[in-house]
Homo-oligomer: A and B are copies of this chain.
Amino acid sequence: MRYPWWQHRLYKAGYRLTNPRQVVINILKNTDKHLSAEDIYVDSLKINSSIGLTTVYRTLDLFQQIGIVQKFDFGEGKARYELIKNPIKKEHHHHIICVKCKEIVDYTDFLNEELELINKTEKALSEKYQFKILHHTVHFYGMCSKCQAT
């Protein structure tokens, strides 16, 4: 394969490889945080000061559509974005969110057991409600140790 998988996806979907797109994906690759569009925009300015916030939004939207990026809503009034590490393996994780400081922790513990049940549920719900289930989110909301202390 000539290109990294994500570039390949772009080409296959008929989109161009442009600098802002490379910048955005590199930022997402090099973080384990859950960045907002603004976060990504600020980071991108350090690399290329002429990138616009609009382009960041459009790029994230595009990446989501071609299955490179997942958009999350943790109820903060703004979205957060995560790179899908391996789109083929469908690896994923669930989230714990601190309601006070908004810290977000990924967890993969017990995920096998969880996923087993979720797949089972998904199948049963599909049948009962005639839904074709595409994805799911599991969010635990609580207080992190720091915020409990204060």
Interface residues of A, Cβ cutoff 8 Å to B: 71-75, 79, 96, 98-99, 105, 107, 109-110, 113-114, 117, 120-122, 124-126, 128-145, 148
Residues of B within 8 A of A122 (CB): 140
**Does A132 lie within 8 Å of B142, measured CB to CB?**
yes
Please give me the residue from chain B that is nearest to A79 by CB atom: B75
**Does A109 lie within 8 Å of B125, measured CB to CB?**
yes
Task: Report how far A126 CA is from B73 CA in the complex, Å.
Answer: 22
Residues of B within 8 A of A137 (CB): 137-139, 141
Would you list 18 pairs from A and B whose C-beta atoms are within 8 A, ordered by A residue? A72-B75, A96-B125, A96-B133, A98-B131, A105-B131, A109-B121, A109-B125, A110-B124, A129-B144, A131-B144, A131-B145, A132-B143, A133-B140, A133-B141, A136-B139, A136-B140, A136-B141, A138-B138
**Does B131 lie within 8 Å of A142, measured CB to CB?**
yes
Please give me the residue from chain B that is nearest to A146 by CB atom: B130
